[in-house]
Structures are given as structure tokens and as C-alpha cells.
Structure 1
Amino acid sequence: MADNDNKVVDLPDRQIVREEASLWVARLDSRENNPDVLNELQNWLNKSPTHREEFRRLSALWGEMDILDDLNYLDDSHNIAEQTTRYSNSRWLKRIGGIAALLLIAIASYLSTGPNKGLEQHATFHTNFGEVQTIALSDGSTLTLNTDTTVEVAMSGSERRLNLLKGEAHFAVAKDASRPFSVYAGHGLVRAVGTAFSVYLKKRDVEVIVSEGRVELMANPPPVSGGDSAQADASNPTLLKVIAAGDQAVMADDGLKRLEPISEIAINRKLSWRSGMLAFAGDPLSDVLEQVSRYTDVRVEITDAKIAALPVGGYFKVGELDGLLEALETTFGIRAEWVDEKHVRITQSS
């Protein structure tokens, strides 16, 4: 005891460690495994036994056997960066398909634009229920579509216009000051030059989260559908607010509805769908089920207001409704009854 009298040990907050561990698992599964990243992971794991415990536990919950295989290389006696080659080789065959797909995208982009490569692009992209898709745009930007999302893209030599018709998308924008990057959604317009942000068209509201740089929030009718989707209403957009990284805003038909700061951890949690996960931290069960239901055509009904308000925290793979229902039954003692194959009713367990 005497040796420890002058030492203060900070016990880690398990909830924060759990959130950070889930993001590390997602980063590994997204193939982000260069030496610098893996050294960063090594330092994070060495912070406490809790860090290692949560990392291994969430890796197992992830349900991907290649992740579990990769974890076998995480040995305290070796530096993770020294294992990069072995780690990478274990996935090389799996990555060939992805590389080939990117090559096809690049070839298709070149053939469609000819000598104006990077300037002209007209296309519509769509994802089905439970599908998440990342698309390389002709200007070097990256578009990631969440489940059941449709985006029209219209780029020319003078402007870059996108119309989010439904759903949610994340935009990593290539810098080009001569061609502002404009995303129309509902009666809102989000404009940037080079930054990263997400836009979620939720009924009539437009939710915007900025993870890098700054964007302009503007009020303007959406582009006219049909024909040239790049043609917006003739009225001039009205600037509502300039927001920066760490801001979350909601625009309604009549203007800016809400603006509030959001932490980096919360941003990563809200955008975890890009890595195939859904993350929650004390969200009401009704909100959790609403988000999970976006990835399936099954309707989930809650019959009790008290059940709907239950705070839920955890990490779930997109589309795995059965796993979520099982976890709810085990943790909260509630009952999930399948009325039919497209309808689940949540009730208090007797």
C-alpha cells in the first residue's frame, strides 16, 4: 500500500472506452492498417486492461471472422506496426475485388467524360434497404450513400450540384474554389468548397453534420426533377448560417430550426453507418428502433410509452434486427413478438 500512497490512478470511463473501441474495430475492418494507424492503435490498447478488453469484446460482437483472425496478431510482445505485412496479406485476396471495382469506376468515369475528365458528370445513384455504397465522383470527391438513399449528380466545368432526393449521404469534397459543391435537400442547400459533411433528409427536415472544414447553410427550393436535374429554382438562395466542424444543424421549411455543437465521438457514432455499424449512447429505444428500421422493411411497433423511452447504448451491425431484438429481450426484459414476417411488436415481458 505504501508504494501507491503517492500515485493517483485514473480509472477509464468504460462507456467512452467502449465507443472508442468500436471505432477502432470499424477502422480495422475498413482496411485502414498502415503502420502509423497501427502504432496509434497499439498506444490506445496499452492505456489500460479495459481498453484491450473492450476492443476484443466488440471485435467478437462484430461478427466478421476476418476481424477475429486479425486480432490473433495483436500480441503485447510485438509492436503492431511490425505485423502490418502479415495483416495486409491476410486480406489481399478479399481486397482485389474492391480494387477492381474502383478501377471500373475510374474507367467508366473517363469514358463518360472524355477530354473533360473531372469536369462533366451526370448520374443518379441509389441504395436499397440495408445497403451502404461509396462512390468516387469525377472531381475526386467521395460520396457515401446510406440505406435507401437516392442522389442525383450533375457536374460541369463551372459548378458541382447534387440533389439528395431521399435518405442520407456523406460527402468528402475535393477542393476546387472555382466550382462550389452544392447539395440540395428538401428546401435546404448546403454549399462547400473542400470539406466533409453529412446530410440526412428526414421527412421534411434536413440534418447536417460537419466533420471537417466549413459549409454554408442556405434556404432554397430543391433542383427541379426531370430533364436536367442540375436546374434549380430561379430564386436566389438565402444564407442562413455558416457552420464549421463540430456543428450539427437542422433546417426546416421556414429556415434554421436547430444548431448545436457535437463532439468528435458523437460525430463518429452518428456516422458509424459508413463502416456498417450503428452506435447508440443512451438514445431512447424509440429512436434506436427508428434508425435500425431504416435498414430493413420490417415494421417495429412499441405498445408502451415507458418502453419507448428506455435509454439504449450499444453497437449493432446494420440490418441485424434479430440481434438487436435478442439483446433488448436479454437486457431489458421486454418481449419482441413477430406478428408476421414484416411486423414486430415490442411489449413488456410478463
Structure 2
Amino acid sequence: MGMGRGDQHVATDLGSYDDAEHWFVRLLDPECSAGERAEFEHWRSADPQHAAAYDEIERLWRQSEEAAKDPSIVAAANRALRSGPDNHVPRRWLYPALAAGFALLLAVVTLPQWLTTPAAADGTRYSTVAGQQQTVPLSDGSSILLDTDTAVTVRYSARTRRVDLLRGQAQFTVQGNHAWPFVVHAGHGTVTAVGTQFQVRLDGDSTDVALLRGKLAVAAESPQGRTQEAALVGGQGLAFGADGHLAAVHAIDVQKAEGWTQGKLFVHDWRLPELLAEMNRYNAVKLEIGDPSLRDIHISGVFRTRDQQTLLQLLQRGWPIHARRMSATQILLLPNR
């Protein structure tokens, strides 16, 4: 049977379909390694028949997903499963593509749940404590860099790569796969990526998104069910809140955005409470303002996230401030009198 796109036709043998089915199912497995994916790409590019077979399997899978929603078709598939001595679809008398499509339809009805729903109901959880950062490599070659006091849950399924940001902030480096979107759920919205690097941060009811490279689709939903959507390109960011409203897209300072990944804070005209709050995220000892008169101090500079001593020295030399240790975990900033 000839297959292809447009006016180009490639004759595809049954063996190519068998191999394509094997690769298709293997690639859906969350445990499929980067090495196996590279081996698949080598197989696919080695012969035009391989690419044509895989494209057809992929197309039939999409069709079979729709077909599986029809009760009459599901019933027919189940009857076919119960027929025959070995419960196998009688493929050899069918055209290869029809056989492959029917087999994939049966897969929708009968495959184990990891193939049609998330790998685990609760997913796999990763978290860091205050002052800790951790890089989490994922099975598809993507990775997540967790910042201090951050938690995520990862759920990979056949249809999507899902990550829930539960608290804190993270940087996502995503391997491209247009057929398998990477979706981050955070706050009251989602961030969908294909082959990008971006950051998402939860800060109270606000969710901030910063795109370092590539493209992103951002969507937020209001409590009333209304959805707003926006598209970002590299060097842009936005925020959304619990009301589902997307703030205007704006240019970001990429160096500043990447600062925390290097243990740095790039600070420009921050109020002292803002700076202390950010430094406190990375340290067990908390710096607190002990007098309202210090709240309007504005500071600029580059600070090491875990270097409280340098910050304290700077504050006490540059402003009429002295630091008083109140306990093992609290330092109070007070004005000189």
C-alpha cells in the first residue's frame, strides 16, 4: 500500500509497521531513556519507509483516541479482543495500516493505565528546603531546577508531560516534542511549552512567568470559568493572579531572571523589606525590620543569596542601622539613635 503526504508516496512493508508500533509504544513510556529516543531517531531517519510507517501509526493513534469515545466502536473492539484462540487481532488479512489502526484502537480500550492516564495518581514529588537548590532530570531529557523551599509534582502520560508547581519557583528546560506538550500547572493557570527554557514562581496569589528562550502559551482561569490566554517569546514575561487576569506581557531582564540559578540577586532600587524577604528565602536565620522608619530605604546591587553577613555589613556601613541578634534564627534591624 502506498502512503505519504501530498504527492509523495512511500511503499511501506509490514515489518516497518511492526517496528513503528514497537517504537510508538516505547516512546509513550515515561521510563523511556534519552538513549532509546536517540536510537529511535536513528531508526526513523535510516529509511523513508520507517518514517512513513511511524507517521501513519501516529496518525492512526490520534484517530483511535477519538474512536474510543464511541461506545459502539469500543464494544466492537472488546468483541474482537474476546475472539480468536489467542485473543489477538487477525492482522495478516488486513491491510497493514488498517491492522495497525485497529490494534491501536484496542490499545485505547485495554492497555494498562500508565498509557492512558498519568503514571501515578499522585505523581512523583520533588522538593527542596530553605537554602537548597536541586536539579531534577526527567525521563524525556528535560530537567527542572528547583529553587529554595520549592515543591513540584511530575506526572507524565501518553498525552502530556504535566508538572504541578506547588510552592516556590523553578526553572524548566524542556526537550521539544510537539506531539507531547510540557504543561506546568501553577496557581490559577497553566504554562505550555515545547522545547523552551522558562521560569515560574508562586508568590502568594500571584504567579510570575519568565521566558528565557523559545515560545510559551500561558492561560489563566477566573473563578467564574473565564479563560485568558497569551503567547510569549524569549525575553518576555507576565503574571496572573487568583482572579484569572493576565497582566500585560513585558520585557524581562534575562540576567536578573537567571541570577538565582547562580546564587545571586540582581537588585535595582528595591525597598529594604523586599530585599530582606528575598534573602530570607535562602537562609534559616531571618532578617527582620524592627522600626517602620527603615522600610523606605532603597537599595541596588548584586548580592549572594546565602551571604547574610556581607549584606548586614553593607547595611550598617551605608545607613544608620545596627543589627541585633534576638535568637538563633532572628536578627532585628534597628535605627541608630
TM above 0.5:
yes
Counterpart selection for 1:286 from 240, 265, 273: 273
Q: Distance in 2 between matches of 1:253 and 1:115?
A: 37
Amino acid at match of 2:135: T
Query: Aligned with 1:184: secondary structure?
Result: strand
Q: How does 1:4-23 map to 2 (within 5 A)?
A: none
2:256 is aligned to: 269
| Counterpart for residue 328 of structure 1 | 315
CA distance in 2, matches of 1:112, 1:244: 28
Look up the equivalent residue of 1:113 and give its one-letter code.
Answer: E
Query: Which residue of 1 is the match for residue 173 of structure 2?
Result: 172
Instruction: Give SS of 2:125's match.
Output: strand
Q: Deviations over 1:33-68 (max 9, x none)?
A: xxxxxxxxxxxxxxxxxxxxxxxxxxxxxxxxxxxx
Deviation at 1:125, TM superposition (A): 1.1
Question: Could you say which residue in structure 2 is the equivalent of 1:184?
Answer: 185
Shift of 1:240: 2.3
Distance 1:308 1:236, change over 3 A: closer
Partner of 2:92 in structure 1?
A: none
Letter in 2 for 1:255: G
2:334 equivalent to 1:347? yes
Deviation larger for 177-186 or 275-284: 275-284
Aligned 1:75-224 pairs, distance under 5 A: 113=31, 122-220=123-221
Q: Deviations over 1:206-242 (max 9, x none)?
A: 0111111221211259xxxxxxxxxxxxx98834222
Structure 2 partner of 1:64: none
Q: Does 142-151 or 322-331 show the bigger shift?
A: 322-331
1:301 to 2:288 alignment: yes
**Secondary structure of 1:278's aligned partner:** strand
Partners of 1:174 and 1:112 in 2: CA distance: 14
Which residue does the alignment assign to 1:246?
A: 235
SS at structure 1 position matched to 2:311: helix
Alpha-carbon separation, structure 2, partners of 1:260 and 1:113: 36
The AA in structure 1 aligned to 2:266 is A
| TM-score for both structures, normalised by structure 1 | 0.59
Q: Shift in Å at residue 306 of structure 1?
A: 4.1
Aligned residues: 226
CA distance in 2, matches of 1:236, 1:159: 22
**Is the partner of 1:327 in helix, strand or coil?**
helix
Seen in structure 2, the aligned counterparts of structure 1 residues 178 and 236 have a Cα distance that, compared at 3 Å, is farther
Q: Percent identity?
A: 29
In terms of mean alpha carbon deviation, does 179-188 or 270-279 score higher? 270-279
Q: Is the 8 A contact 1:216 1:239 kept in 2?
A: no
Question: SS state of the match for residue 128, structure 1?
Answer: coil
Comparing 200-209 with 276-285, greater Cα deviation is found at 276-285
Q: Which residue of 2 aligns with 1:61?
A: none
Superposed CA offset, 1:151-190 (max 9, x none): 1111123210000011000111111000111101121211
For the residues of structure 2 that align with 1:205 and 1:296, how far apart are their CA atoms?
23
Letter in 1 for 2:31: T
Unmatched tracts of structure 1, length 5 or more:
1-110, 222-234
- Please give the per-residue CA displacement for 1:233-282, whole angstroms capped at 9, x wherever unaligned: xx98834222222222111111235234234xx22113211112222122
Shift of 1:299: 3.0
SS in 1 for 2:245: strand
Mapped to 2, the partners of 1:114 and 1:236 lie a distance apart of: 36
Partners in 1 of 2:255 and 2:281 — Cα distance? 19
What secondary structure sits across from 2:135 in the alignment?
Answer: strand
Take 1:297 and 1:286, find their aligned partners in 2: how far apart are those partners?
17
Larger Rg: 2
Q: Which amino acid is the alignment partner of residue 218 of structure 1? A: A
Question: Which is bigger in relative contact order (C-alpha 8 A, separation at least 6)?
Answer: 1
Give the TM-score of the pair, scaled to structure 2.
0.61
Q: CA deviation at 1:308?
A: 1.8
Kept in 1, the 8 Å contact 2:172–2:197? The answer is yes
Confirm or deny: 8 A CA contact 1:251 1:257 kept in the other structure.
yes
Q: Which runs of 5+ in 2 are unaligned?
A: 1-28, 38-114
